[in-house]
A and B are shown apart, each in its own frame.
Chain A
Amino acid sequence: MASTLLDLRTFRPALLALGLLLGRAPGDETSSRLLTLGLEELGSIKVDSVFTASRFTEKTTDAPASVTILTRDEIKRLGYRNVGEAIRGVRSFDVTNDRNYTYLGVRGFNVPGDYGTRTLLLLDGHRMNDMMYDFVAIGTEGLLDVDLIERIEFVRGPWSAIYGSNAFFSVINIVPRRGHDIGGAETSASIGTFDAYTGRFTMGKRFANGLDFMLSGTTQASPGQERLYYREFDTPQTNHGIARNRDGDRASNLFGSLRWSDFTLQGGYVNRNKNVPTAPYASAFNERFSTEDSRGYLELQYAHKTKSGWTLSGRASYDSYDYHTLSDYDDGAGGIYVNNDSARVRSWSAEGSVSKKFFERVRLSLGAEYRESLTLRQRNYDEQPLNTYLDASGHQQISSIFIESNTQLGKPLSVLVSARFDQYGSFGGTLNPRFGLISHPVARSTVKLLFGKAFRAPNDYELHFSSLTQAGNDQLVPEEIVTTELVAEQFFGDHWTGTLSLYQNKISKLVELQSGSDRDVFANTGDDRVRGAEGEVQGKWDNGLLVRASYTLQDAVSETTGLRLNNSPRHVARTQVLVPVWGEKLSAGLELLYSSDRLTLQRQHSGETWLVNATLLSRELRPGLEVSASIYNVLDHHYRTPGSVEHQQDTIEQDGRTFRLKLTFRF
């Protein structure tokens, strides 16, 4: 019997398979197609590389972090309507919405009411978190139209060692398209469920002398859901819990850039008005509660490579953010009085860095940054009778220096060390280091061992806000995180990549609202711990077929209480499939997003989430025309996400099935 098994004939099919594979021209269709391309075409092919992880452009496998890149092509083919929807599809990230703002969480941490403050959002390297709330705007309140995105770089892990505050759980960098990428003019219009429409006009061009310009404007509006029912308000006095025509959303934004030689001038502005149907902050139900957010910036960048190999870069910018809420309150006598809550933020910043590679093995970079507020004003008052609760002006100035090094030790091993010191006018200094070890133990595999500390400085809102129910605390110190992460990446065959990541986040001195004797007060109280494992496989083919699937197991607990964190699903799965149905002409995109149950503030269960989104995209059906049709939440799954402290509702119901039809024309 044993001899039969070892008979050479036994292996005949196997040897046949081996012979077939070895005999076939390696590389196959993919590379042979590339090999026939001319120079101009080659120059437009994207090679996967990332800028955000360390300030040098590098290959994703060489980046000292777990990195995901989402391209313009994927955004289009999956029919994402805003940045938040694009982020929601990416492993490690969690996006929720309470019909006012869109909130961002990372790796099991998305405490209700956190305005995305523990992620640093960059727009082409420019810091978008404002100086008052550290707010990360990714919904309709976001500054950049999703159509203007060239790619989004997601860099997981603590990055205060390079970027300072807010680079706590991750850094997201949105890279906009340039004039060259537009090459003329583009106009786009869409209509969708709840009478949602958008319109965009973009022009851009690179001239023969090298000048590249781009200018784009978008306007969008939707009255939202006509009728929303909240059982928490189901009384005859409050319209039986029905909020009617209280969900409107209106936004306009403008973005432009001008590039010439080593200089880039870039800026943008967004204004959004949102009606909020949930009656937060104990305001009157089915009455006015509207928020207005305006964010703008202008930045001059300089980047130059000298003949001797030095890279010099600098940027100077001016930022603005205005927030204003008008809300109606019940005066207890059948009347209404109006409350105004507002903030005005103006700040400027400057930054410079030099870097050079020494002996072909050591890359060193040194930099400094200065940020200062010009205006930091918060006001809260009632109109008629005038009653001012808050009128505070703060000031913040931050001076920082950072150093970064990447040393190649032998062929398969590199060591990365970076550190940054930030000196704050308010609480003093903080030093944050980061270490990374990257090795390629066998061909086409990468192992990364990463360790780092990061911080988030208390913002002006936490330091100085004051109302009848809530008080700031000027004694706050930065919250801190220490992260350890092991990442393994492996290429399989021609098309597949696998990633496995194990991490632990230890958070201390978290700034939280603590119940006080008369008012809730911000305090450095929380100690949390998150452990997780993430696995992802991706298959990518040259004809445009793409398959991506990931699963995350995460365990987030408060070390102070031993309890599971709110709004933190234990299991998360994401799948995206992009199929070229008819070459470039028709592509189908399917997305499946699953999250297991989340705990609410009242320690109830919000239930699991099953979301299926589908998009059909047709390109070049007629020259310059692009049509896309999407169905979101195809299964019409009625799901809820936890509310925050300002809500009477413990969970907030999300939209069911919605549609969108979009036309883009290039000329």
Chain B
Amino acid sequence: MKQTLRALGWATTIFWIFLIAFAGTCVYSAANTRIKLGEPQVFPSETAITISFPLFINNSGYYDISDLNVTTLLEDIDGVCVSKSTTIITLVPKGRNIVKTHNITINLNDIAYNFYYYLFNDTEFNLQQHFKLKFARVIPFHALANMKIPWGAPLYNFSVKQVSYQCSYLTNCTVTVSFAFENHSPYFDVIGKLRLEIYNSNGEQIGIGETTADAPSHSSFEGTVDIVVDGEKFTAQGEIFFYFETPLFNFGPLVIPYG
């Protein structure tokens, strides 16, 4: 029994030393591991907006990092998922640096149902970033960052200020439409073409006009368009159709009645 107890004593002591050493080196390694997302780059296209983050992983510890999973979940204010992007790195060996790109793709078709709302109303998005990994292959680690991203409407408070007309002859009238909006977006400028179509109360198109809009981020824009219309068809009441064409989005018609 004495020998058994002695063996048991040595075995437990050795295992305790291993366990304490493992715990210590794990904590030391975790302190020397750096995972961070770099500066984002935005790539707009006709169907989607891709936000690309470089993902830097510097594993200076004593243990491998495995099953690294970076997931970004973008939800609108109602909790509807706008975009979910995942990047998986199966192994980051000890003492290695790895750089990988984490892409967040926002499909414009997915937000089409709310596109009108996003153009004209300020709101906020909820961004969840999940980092999951296994440290030393046996210690799962999970970090969850939750942040609100404010969304500024690029065409906030778009309104027709005044519609006036002047006729030199009965058949030759000029309608002057003045309109204004505020670009609340912190992310992009609204630069592009604005096309107007005027319809009389019978629904007939009586004139077309065009202007350019240049509203830098966080600025107001006021514009005036002169449209030559057929004076015989012009009515005191009608509708103006607005069409926007910018490198980032095309939108229209926005129908605003006049008169």
The answer to whether A and B belong to the same complex is no
